[in-house]
Amino acid sequence: DGGITQSPKYLFRKEGQNVTLSCEQNLNHDAMYWYRQDPGQGLRLIYYSQIVNDFQKGDIAEGYSVSREKKESFPLTVTSAQKNPTAFYLCASSIGSSGLQETQYFGPGTRLLVL
């Protein structure tokens, strides 16, 4: 059963704590993306990676970090520098041959809440 999995579904962060959101895909896609979704706003691109061991900042990368050590995995760390982390975080992937102009397949999302 191919697809994108994100875990956990809900995540709670204490003040000053770093937390890591997991994203795994078994679609054999080269490109992976992280978005943040806030109520009343569209999705905003945090980071994307078009190939293993390489990634680029999106529009709102400050306070976040990523790694891409494996093709299947693209974890997102929300650092303590992100002052307003409460949001719905979505991971996506695409085949990767045409950059951002490709169909992106989204995971089910992780809702991050600050205690």
Partner 1 sequence: QQQVKQSPQSLIVQKGGISIINCAYENTAFDYFPWYQQFPGKGPALLIAIRPDVSEKKEGRFTISFNKSAKQFSLHIMDSQPGDSATYFCAAVNTDKLIFGTGTRLQVFP
- Structure letter (DSSP) for residue 73: B
Site for partner 1 in 37-96 (CB under 8 A): 40-45, 90, 92
Positive or negative: CA dihedral 113, 82, 88, 50: negative
For partner 1, give the closer residue by CB, 6 or 82: 6
The distance of closest approach from Cβ of residue 42 to partner 1 in the complex, given in angstroms and rounded to an integer, is 3
Q: Is 99 in the site for partner 1 (CB under 8 A)?
A: yes
For the chain, give the number of residues.
115
Number of residues that bind partner 1 (CB under 8 A): 19
Only one of the segments 14-22, 62-70, 74-82, 99-107 lies at the binding site for partner 1 (rule: CB under 8 A); that segment is: 99-107
Tokens 């875990």 locate to 7
Ramachandran angles phi, psi of 110, nearest 5° = -125, 130
**Do 9 and 91 form a contact (C-beta atoms < 8 A)?**
no
In the complex, the residues that contact partner 1 under the rule CB under 8 A are 4, 40-45, 90, 92, 99-101, 103-109
